[in-house]
């Protein structure tokens, strides 16, 4: 109320409307999306590269969450899924290199049956 006894209408400004909106954490949301995509494609090595981007965005999301208080859970989920994608991609690459090394003599077979027999001999040691 003002001095005359009438009510003063509440004035809405852009500042009060922006303050009422929930805060968003864009890097955290992007990190979760990239982490899930990276984890689902990590067996074909592409996920490792996407996981690196997701990891960087997840860390940026954690920094933003520390400042604004929004999106901490999403940032952590993005970091975890991206890190898992990187680990799976590295393990898949190591296993592929190991398999290729063990079976390098089998790459010139005349048929699929000969290739299978050669691989079986090299992997079992017979």
User: Using one digit for the tens of pLDDT, what is the confidence trace for 25-61?
Assistant: 889 999 999 999 999 998 887 888 999 999 999 999 9
Write b or e for each residue in 40-50: b if 16 or more Cβ atoms lie within 10 A of its Cβ, otherwise e. Answer: ebbbeeebbeb
The residue behind tokens 């990891």 is: 55
CA 113 to chain centre: 40
Q: 19 falls in which pLDDT band (50, 70, 90)?
A: low
Q: Is 119 exposed, middle or buried (0-12, 13-18, 19+ CB in 10 A)?
A: middle
Q: Is the pTM of this model over 0.85?
A: no
């Amino acid at each position: 109320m003002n001095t005359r006894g009438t009510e003063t209408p509440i004035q809405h400004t852009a500042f009060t409307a922006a303050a009422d909106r929930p805060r968003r954490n864009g890097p955290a949301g992007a990190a979760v999306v990239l982490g899930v995509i990276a984890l689902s494609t990590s067996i074909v090595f592409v996920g490792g590269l996407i996981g690196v981007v997701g990891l960087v965005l997840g860390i940026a999301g954690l920094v933003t969450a520390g400042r604004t208080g929004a999106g901490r859970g999403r940032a952590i989920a993005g970091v975890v899924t991206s890190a898992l994608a990187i680990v799976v991609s590295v393990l898949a690459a190591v296993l592929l290199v190991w398999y290729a090394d063990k079976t390098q003599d089998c790459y010139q077979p005349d048929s699929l049956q000969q290739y299978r027999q050669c691989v079986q001999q090299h992997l079992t040691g017979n």
